[in-house]
């Protein structure tokens, strides 16, 4: 048994609406034809791909989300081929779903996405902040087209492009005594109150830095957002160890901040783009190219402390 493009389209349209009846209305066909297409796809893969509820509509299973994403790639390529054959301009279309575990993603991702707008694009962006594991699991489950994440803890099934390595640095108020130094050490920091970014991967990484150096830092506060850490540092609650810079040295609370490199030899964190590299949608390939170009540029390099 083979699956036709028509069945793929019926299947994806039904899941997009969460309703067989609404899909039938959009496609201008009988609801039974949509239902039959779903049955055909499930029979072909011998998997339960859709949960049907009388009052709530239909929802994809985890396997169904994977199939839906693969069908979207095939349909996207087919539509792009037709568009190119007819010399149409809209080769990039549809929703682009990006999950990100990258605390300063707001400092660069909007700029990069500007390059995916304009007359040749018909793209809706959907951006979701998540933790490092959620991002990867979401990519594998088809919830995201691409993810920004720390690949030092990458799952083996996730394909990715490394974008930039970000060494640790110390963030402090502009008038802090350590700001007079060109660099600081972990021993210097162990004597300071520390504001810790309490996010998966990050908090363990910072803890291991001090353990490796045989230091036990004071801790005064934990915060699960980079901007809260920066604001706590700005008003004088302590110093922080972070890995990437936003485009400003002013915190949300309006205080000026200062960054200094850490002299100790420390491992960096690696920001990467995860996506299906074997059969990516055209818009995802374009996103990957734009991000690689950005982080090779002076603007991208400005987000990390020079080695």
Using the structure block, give the residue that is written with the tokens 């309703």.
19
Do residues 291 and 259 share a domain? no
Q: Which tens digit of pLDDT belongs to each residue from 244-290? A: 989 899 999 999 999 999 998 888 889 999 999 988 888 899 999 99
Residue 288 CA: distances (Å) to CA of 12, 98, 162, 285: 25, 12, 10, 5
Do residues 154 and 284 share a domain? yes
Q: Which domain holds residue 62?
A: 5-66
Do residues 14 and 146 share a domain? no
Do residues 152 and 205 share a domain? no
Domain count across the chain: 3
Do residues 50 and 192 share a domain? no
Report the predicted TM-score, pTM, of the whole model to 2 decimal places.
0.69
Residue 104 included in any domain: yes
Quote the pLDDT of residue 55: 75
β-sheet bridge partners, residue 50? 60
Identify the CATH number of the domain in which residue 116 sits: 3.40.190.10
Do residues 118 and 234 share a domain? no
Q: Which tens digit of pLDDT belongs to each residue from 290-299? A: 999 999 999 9
Spatial separation of the C-alpha atoms in residues 71 and 94, rounded to whole Å: 13
Structure tokens at 78: 């087919």
Mean pLDDT, rounded, of the chain: 88
Do residues 260 and 176 share a domain? yes
Q: Which tens digit of pLDDT belongs to each residue from 150-198? A: 998 799 999 999 999 999 899 999 999 999 999 999 888 888 898 988 8
Do residues 119 and 141 share a domain? yes
Residues 6+ apart with CB under 8 A from 258: 171, 172, 173, 174, 176, 179, 249
Do residues 154 and 294 share a domain? yes
Do residues 146 and 190 share a domain? no
């Amino acid at each position: 048994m083979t699956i036709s493009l028509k069945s793929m389209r019926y299947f994806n349209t039904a899941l997009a609406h969460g309703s067989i009846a609404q899909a039938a209305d959009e496609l201008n066909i009988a609801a039974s034809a949509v239902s039959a297409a779903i049955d055909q796809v499930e029979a072909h893969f011998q998997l339960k791909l859709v949960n049907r509820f009388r009052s709530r509509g239909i929802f994809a299973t985890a396997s169904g989300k994977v199939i839906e994403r693969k069908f979207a790639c095939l349909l996207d390529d087919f539509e792009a081929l037709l568009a190119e054959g007819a010399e149409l301009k809209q080769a990039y279309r549809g929703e682009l779903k990006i999950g990100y575990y990258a605390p300063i993603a707001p400092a660069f991702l909007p700029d990069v996405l500007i390059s995916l707008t304009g007359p040749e694009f018909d793209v809706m962006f959907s951006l979701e902040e998540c933790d490092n594991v959620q991002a990867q699991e979401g990519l594998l489950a088809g919830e995201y087209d691409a993810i920004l994440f720390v690949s030092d803890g990458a799952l083996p099934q996730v394909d990715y492009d490394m974008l930039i390595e970000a060494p640790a640095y110390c963030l402090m108020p502009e008038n802090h005594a350590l700001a007079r130094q060109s660099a600081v050490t972990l021993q210097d920091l162990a004597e300071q109150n520390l504001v810790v970014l309490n996010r998966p991967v990050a908090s363990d990484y910072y803890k291991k830095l001090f353990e490796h150096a045989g230091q036990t830092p004071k801790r005064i506060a934990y915060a699960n957002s980079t901007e809260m850490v920066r604001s706590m540092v700005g008003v004088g609650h302590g110093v922080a160890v972070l890995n990437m810079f936003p485009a400003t040295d002013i915190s949300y609370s309006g205080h000026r901040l200062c960054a200094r490199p850490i002299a100790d030899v420390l491992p960096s964190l690696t920001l990467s783009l995860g996506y299906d590299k074997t059969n990516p949608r055209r818009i995802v390939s374009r996103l990957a190219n734009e991000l690689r170009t950005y982080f090779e540029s002076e603007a991208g390099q400005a987000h990390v402390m020079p080695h």
